[in-house]
């Protein structure tokens, strides 16, 4: 085994994963020698110790990124395209390792982790096709006194900060378009889940990414890396995470007029209109809620159900969630893994308590079921961060659980008496990342969907992410778009050439 690697043994696989900083194409310890611990969410035990970057390490990474930026930006688009395609192929080739690694450090059930591998890989295939298709323009000036030409060039070194809940897809959504555009990138993975990104860096190196073009800096202190925003050489910030942190970083980036894209918090409504197909609604509601045990930025947060369908919806979704099997993410029988940490579980506990104190009724799960977990599920490690699938009804719009991201396996149901009331409740939030609407009258359903204040709307479907589609929100849920045709534009400057002929 090489230096700065650890051996992972889980789910019948044995493979090596880097645990050092990835700087300038090499793996190394942090300058202070400090380590951060990665935990198994199912047991609370330490999986690995990973090098923790300092401000000095971050400054060195930027020196390297700035030095190699001109050469990488001048690389032939076809060459960048072929590297991205090779990266895609390597991710697919190592699906099993990436699946197990995510389920181990995140706690997520393996079917969900395997789905993320396929989804994240698709960004590299999609942007491999976009790299060689960057367009410009040439036309006559309307005044007839010359020509207008436009071209594009890479923005420059990028700082990417990713969250813990999608350790592969979040770096893929940022790295693939940055590489396609010709930008270098310094990435900071979440402290809770750094191993997947480090393994991705290993695959990227094998794919042919030149030394210094992509660097990875795990750290115990995000501020050590965000200090790079004080340097004029950073020309782009891309961040996925909480609204409060994103807004603070954006304010810092604004001091240097750094281009910024943000994917922030959500409060997604899942609306079941009076004419919806009930069985389809329940099926899609589960898809929109339970992936990753609800720890998903676009997870349905508020279930807004027409009163004519509410009783049956509650019964059917309760029965559906009873079928979920809690267990370690790396167990093939598991369909619902633990929360990522005790802090995350406690947030869910608090929100459920506030909901019940405010008049909500528990139909399934809840804090009482958590208290009795050792009796009902003795097979689960008591040190794991478990929370059972939960259904609440009689939730009111003013309750905290209807106004904060739950980020857990809790279905919080509100009843409405009309489609007009449903729209009012759905839009009564400062957030606008994702939304979902179910209805069989397609004209009425589409009119409703077009009035929802969200950057992405699932119409009769609970899974909406697609590398070929623009991902992003409105209002306090973010700026810019990732994926789709728009995604590469976040990493390109448009240059206008005025021609005198």
Q: Which of 216, 159, 157, 208 is nearest to 191 (CA)?
A: 216
* Cβ contact 179:206 at 8 Å: no
Question: If you write DSSP's letter for every residue of 111-143 in order, what string do you get?
Answer: HHHHHHHHHHHHHHHHHHHHHTT---EEEE-TT
Long-range contacts of 481-486 (CB under 8 A, 24+ apart): 481/261, 481/455, 482/173, 482/174, 482/177, 482/238, 482/261, 482/263, 483/123, 483/126, 483/173, 485/130
Q: Which of 285, 247, 252, 253 is nearest to 265 (CA)?
A: 247
pLDDT of residue 238: 98
> Would you tell me how many other CB atoms lie within 10 Å of the CB of residue 130?
22
Residue in this structure with the two tokens 């891309």, named with its chain if needed: 238
Q: Which of 295, 57, 56, 85 is nearest to 193 (CA)?
A: 295
* Cβ contact 127:207 at 8 Å: no
Structure tokens at 125: 């295939």
The SS3 call for residue 168 is: coil
pLDDT of residue 2: 59
- CA–CA gap between residue 294 and residue 410 (Å, rounded): 7
Q: Which of 129, 132, 238, 131 is nearest to 180 (CA)?
A: 131
452-462 residue pLDDT tens: 999 999 999 99
Q: What are phi and psi of 221, to 5 degrees?
A: -135, 105
Q: Which residues pair with 13 in a beta bridge?
A: 10
pLDDT of residue 104: 95
Q: Say which of 60, 122, 263, 453 is annotated catalytic.
A: 263
* Cβ contact 18:27 at 8 Å: yes
* Residue 263 bears catalytic tag: yes
Question: Strands 236-240, 158-161: parallel, antiparallel or unpaired by DSSP?
Answer: parallel
Residue in this structure with the two tokens 């970057």, named with its chain if needed: 53
Q: Which residues pair with 192 in a beta bridge?
A: none
> pTM of the entire structure?
0.96
Domains of the chain by range and CATH? 5-264+478-499 (3.40.605.10), 269-459 (3.40.309.10)
Indicate the length of the chain as a whole number. Answer: 501
- CA–CA gap between residue 325 and residue 316 (Å, rounded): 17
Instruction: Tell me the angle at which helices 169-181 and 110-131 cross, rounded to the nearest 10 degrees.
Output: 10
pLDDT of residue 501: 81
pLDDT of residue 272: 98
DSSP label at residue 453: -
Three-state SS string across 386-438, please? CCCCEEEECCCCCCHHHCCCCCCCEEEEEEECCHHHHHHHHHCCCEECEEEEE
Task: Show the low-confidence residues of the chain (pLDDT under 50).
Answer: none
Q: Which residues pair with 16 in a beta bridge?
A: 7
Q: Say if residue 33 is exposed, middle or buried (CB neighbours under 10 Å; 0-12, 13-18, 19+).
A: exposed
């Amino acid at each position: 085994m090489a230096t700065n690697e650890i051996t992972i043994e889980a789910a019948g696989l044995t493979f090596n994963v880097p645990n050092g900083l990835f700087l300038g194409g090499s793996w190394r310890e942090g300058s202070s020698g400090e380590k951060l611990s990665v935990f198994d969410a199912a047991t609370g035990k330490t999986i690995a110790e990973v090098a923790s970057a300092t401000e000095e390490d971050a400054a060195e990474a930027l020196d390297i990124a700035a030095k190699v930026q001109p050469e990488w930006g001048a690389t032939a688009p076809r060459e960048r395209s072929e590297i991205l395609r090779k990266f895609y192929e390597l991710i697919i080739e190592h699906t099993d390792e990436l699946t197990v690694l995510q389920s181990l450090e995140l706690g997520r059930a393996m079917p969900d982790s395997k789905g993320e591998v396929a989804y994240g890989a698709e960004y590299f295939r999609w942007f491999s096709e976009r790299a060689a298709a960057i367009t410009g323009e040439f036309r006559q000036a309307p005044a007839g006194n010359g020509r207008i030409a436009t071209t594009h060039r890479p923005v420059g070194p990028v700082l990417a900060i990713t969250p813990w809940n999608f350790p592969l897809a979040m770096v893929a959504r940022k790295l693939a378009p940055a590489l396609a555009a010709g930008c270098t990138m310094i990435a900071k993975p979440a402290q809770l889940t750094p191993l997947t990104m480090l393994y991705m860096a290993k695959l990227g190196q094998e794919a042919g990414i030149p030394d210094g073009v992509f660097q990875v800096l795990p750290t115990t202190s995000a501020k050590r890396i965000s200090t790079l925003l004080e340097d004029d050489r950073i020309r782009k910030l891309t961040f996925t995470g909480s609204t409060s942190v994103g807004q603070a970083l954006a304010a810092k980036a604004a001091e240097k007029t750094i281009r910024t894209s943000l994917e922030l918090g959500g409060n997604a409504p899942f609306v079941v209109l009076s004419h919806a197909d009930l069985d389809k609604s329940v099926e899609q509601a589960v898809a929109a809620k339970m992936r990753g045990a609800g720890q998903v930025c676009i997870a349905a947060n508020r279930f807004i159900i027409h009163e004519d369908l509410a009783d049956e919806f509650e019964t059917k979704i309760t029965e559906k969630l009873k079928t979920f099997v809690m267990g370690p993410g790396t167990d093939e029988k598991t369909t619902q893994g633990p929360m990522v940490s005790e802090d995350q579980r406690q947030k869910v506990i608090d929100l459920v308590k506030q909901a019940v104190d405010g008049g909500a009724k528990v139909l399934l799960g809840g804090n009482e079921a958590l208290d009795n977990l050792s009796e009902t599920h003795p097979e689960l490690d008591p040190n794991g961060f478990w929370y059972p699938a939960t259904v609440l009804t009689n939730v009111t719009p003013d309750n905290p659980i209807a106004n904060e991201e739950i980020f857990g396996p809790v279905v919080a149901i509100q009843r409405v008496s009309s489609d007009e009331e449903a729209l009012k409740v759905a839009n009564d939030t400062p957030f606008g990342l994702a939304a979902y609407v179910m209805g069989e009258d397609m004209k009425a359903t589409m009119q409703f969907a077009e009035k929802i204040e969200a950057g992405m709307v699932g119409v009769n479907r609970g899974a909406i992410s697609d590398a070929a589609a623009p991902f992003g929100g409105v209002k306090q849920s973010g700026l810019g778009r990732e994926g789709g045709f728009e995604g590469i534009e976040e990493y390109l400057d448009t240059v206008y050439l005025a021609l005198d002929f």
